Structure 1
Amino acid sequence: MYPGGLTVENSAGAHIPFNSRKIHRSLTTLTNDPTVVHRVESLIVAQLAGFDVVATGTIEATIVETLEQLGYGNMAQNYRRRQHA
């Protein structure tokens, strides 16, 4: 399920291995519903699987867009607030 070999480019330009647990942790801070977390996480990871290298900003945008497309607008707003706090 998790894309092997995916590399994340952070804001400093460093390349680090993709860690899906970070997405999982972010989603669990937004809801206690494991079904929602699994559904959203699976869709995000599937979208990222098309990349070899992905910027953290792209990951964040993918999370927000996926939440909004699935009808979790409030979760998307809360995620944005937490990322910019």
Structure 2
Amino acid sequence: MSTTRLTLIGKPGCHLCEDARAVIDAVRAEPGMPEVELEELSILDDPALHDRYWEEIPVLLINDRMHTYWRVDPARLRAALGA
């Protein structure tokens, strides 16, 4: 079984990005959650990410597919991860 990959796209100093990270970390830490890898990318480090997502950060991708932007809902994330 492959590990689910989450990608959080944001930028330093973004309070919504910090909120999203906190929700993701809390959900990942819950008992019974499947193994999940988290990668964080900054729109400040990648012009293509900046051009695509600057109005939507934070953006959460699951296995490279858009899951949500602006706010991460814990119940929706749990459901997407199969918990």
Higher strand share: 2
TM-score of the two chains, using structure 1 as the length reference:
0.35
TM-score of the two chains, using structure 2 as the length reference:
0.35
Higher helix share: 1
